[in-house]
Amino acid sequence: GQSLEQPSEVTAVEGAIVQINCTYQTSGFYGLSWYQQHDGGAPTFLSYNALDGLEETGRFSSFLSRSDSYGYLLLQELQMKDSASYFCALDNYGQNFVFGPGTRLSVLP
């Protein structure tokens, strides 16, 4: 089967940079996705890494290393509105997606 691990909570101050890590176990996959979910809301797509390396989308970047079974989401210039839960998810060869347990990010003023 597939499994993912993430830190349960991360705290940072406004304007700072924070990295949310994701380690996984799988026999194979297409790519690693990241989603953001505010309390009571639906997850929204942030980024996808099909290949090793860094993908940048505005203030958010995501990284994947298949050899290390590891990825991370990097959030720069943190804003209060970035306080949310962040999930990594494995793309299981396009069949379905397996989500990690989520990391709750708290941004302090």
Partner 1 sequence: DGGITQSPKYLFRKEGQNVTLSCEQNLNHDAMYWYRQDPGQGLRLIYYSQIVNDFQKGDIAEGYSVSREKKESFPLTVTSAQKNPTAFYLCASSIGKGQETQYFGPGTRLLVL
The footprint of partner 1 (CB under 8 A) covers 30-31, 33, 35, 41-45, 48, 50, 87, 89, 91, 94-102, 104
In the complex, minimum distance from the CB of residue 27 to partner 1, in angstroms, rounded to a whole number: 16
Which is closer to partner 1, CB of 51 or CB of 109?
A: 51
Which is closer to partner 1, CB of 45 or CB of 77?
A: 45
Tell me phi and psi for residue 101, to 5 degrees.
-75, -15
Give the closest residue to 44 by CA, choosing from 63, 21, 60, 24. 60
Query: In whole angstroms, what is the distance from residue 82 CA to residue 84 CA?
Result: 6
Which is closer to partner 1, CB of 25 or CB of 44?
A: 44
